[in-house]
Copies of this chain bind each other. A is one copy, B any other.
Amino acid sequence: MRIGKVAERAGVSVRALRYYEEQGLVIADRSPSGHRQYPESAVERVKFIQLLYAAGLTSKAILQILPFLDTLVATSQMTRRLTDERARIRVKIDALTRAHDRLEELIRLAAEYENSPATCSASADVAASHSPPRH
């Protein structure tokens, strides 16, 4: 399969695929004329790479994890990278959840104001975060 088709089926740009190759994440054969030739499996591989990118992993981190998919042999370095990244993602999910809850709180406040602009000035400090009660 050529690069355009892989890009389309994996939902990434052609440029991205060339970049992945540059980073050593996807290896492609070459036709006699120099065009890249991908196996079917490349599509799933690229989707997996995208999944990890979306989770905030760097090319370097992905590069340390990917060989496991091919060989299913985990070096200690790979295992550590796997657990490290899992932990990083957990932390990130927590942070995002806090931000989400916080925005929800503000949205509620905004809706309240919408309904009765005059009567909710008393709850003004609700917006001022999780600090302990003043006085």
List A residues at the B interface (Cβ < 8 Å).
41, 44, 47-48, 51-52, 54-57, 65, 68-69, 72-74, 78-79, 82-83, 85-86, 89-90, 92-93, 95-100, 102-104, 106-107, 109-110, 113-114, 120-121, 124, 127-129, 131
Picked from B48, B103, B120, the residue with its CB within 8 Å of the CB of A86 is B103
B128:A95 contact, CB within 8 angstroms: no
Question: 15 pairs across A/B with beta carbons < 8 Å?
Answer: A44-B128, A48-B102, A52-B99, A68-B109, A72-B113, A72-B124, A72-B127, A79-B107, A82-B103, A82-B110, A86-B107, A89-B99, A92-B96, A93-B96, A93-B100
Q: Which residues of B contact A78 (CB under 8 A)?
A: 110
Copies in the complex: 2
Picked from B47, B54, B72, B124, the residue with its CB within 8 Å of the CB of A109 is B72
B128:A51 contact, CB within 8 angstroms: no
A95→B122 CA distance, assembly (Å): 39
